[in-house]
Amino acid sequence: MPPKKRGRKPKKKVEKGPPKKRGRKPKGGKIIKVSDIKKKKPEYKPNIILHLKTSNNDNYKQELTSIEYNPEIKEPEAFNINHNKINILQFEEIVKKKKEKQNIIIEKKEKIPIKNKSRELWTKLNNLKKNLKLDNISDKSSHCFWCTCFFDNPTIYIPKNIVEDTVEVYGCFCSPECALSFLKNEKIDTSTLWNRYSLLNNIYGKIYNYDKNIKPAPSPYYTLDKFLGSLTIQEYRKLLKNDRLILIVDKPLSKIMPEIYEENNEEPKIMNNLLDNKKQKSNKYKLKSKEIFKTKTDILKNSFNVI
């Protein structure tokens, strides 16, 4: 057996790797080294030279064949308008077509008296009152209350409150964004507004799988082409699907900062003429009182008759 070695064992040297990168990763694209970029080499096309067996005599022969001499020369004829008018000038006779008279039949409508019109109007109003009171309005196709355009999808309502697992709603809208913008323009308390807004998020956020809160739609009066805007209803509804919030501000926003105002202690006398320089100006205060100043002796005399 070989004798045991004494002392500490030598430490194994561990090779250190490259240092770790610190800090956040850049938000841009990947960082590519200059050595990794492959440059495209331009393709060089060789110049091709053709050696043709031709001579200058061949070109000279071709030029001579193109030019030929004709000894027969025709005599030129003088121009005559009468003979050549039909052959040279092309014209057509304009025939005016007579318009056929159409017999227009105008059907005269019988004039309905004003009394019957007013009766029909009041009967319609009374029927509408009954239907609104009993909640018997038919589910007919209606336009959106906010963007005022037709839609095919099921109607979206603004929830008012929840009573015994039933939700009371009102309105008729094409999207939850239009419903929210209509809700924000209503003249109601802030507490009721936020209560209805939370109900709108809870109900329609689950149906449409919204990750964030519903954002309001922009005003249609300055965006749609049917009013003063330039967008169609399809483009307007595509804007609602984006993450950006579009607002239409009537006036430009401006910061109101306070002003520093300096004022003297001397207040101008409003009753006097400030433009008159003849009178002497005095800034002294004058006290006027009707009561006479009384001393202690005077008070004792009046009250106790003591001298």
pLDDT tens digit sequence for 136-189: 666 667 899 999 999 998 899 999 988 888 888 999 999 999 999 999 999 999
Q: pLDDT at position 143, please? A: 92
**Band of residue 100 on the pLDDT scale cut at 50, 70, 90:** low
pLDDT tens digit sequence for 263-274: 665 665 656 665
* 55 is a domain residue: no
**Band of residue 238 on the pLDDT scale cut at 50, 70, 90:** very high
Maximum Cα–Cα distance for the chain, whole Å? Answer: 171
* 212 is a domain residue: yes
Residues 6+ apart with CB under 8 A from 115: none
pLDDT tens digit sequence for 139-154: 667 899 999 999 998 8
| Residue written as token pair 């050549």 | 84
Q: Domain range holding 167?
A: 156-217
Q: pLDDT at position 249, please? A: 78
Least confident segment among 21-35, 84-98, 249-263, 280-294: 84-98
Are 158 and 196 contacting, i.e. CB atoms less than 8 angstroms apart?
Answer: yes
* 28 is a domain residue: no
Max mean pLDDT among 62-71, 93-102, 108-117, 239-248 falls in 239-248
Give the count of domains, the chain. Answer: 1
* 109 is a domain residue: no
DSSP label at residue 185 = T
Are 158 and 200 contacting, i.e. CB atoms less than 8 angstroms apart?
Answer: yes
* 122 is a domain residue: no
Are 282 and 288 contacting, i.e. CB atoms less than 8 angstroms apart?
Answer: no
Report CA dihedral (185, 188, 194, 197) to the nearest 10 degrees: -50
* 98 is a domain residue: no
Q: pLDDT at position 118, please? A: 82
* 71 is a domain residue: no
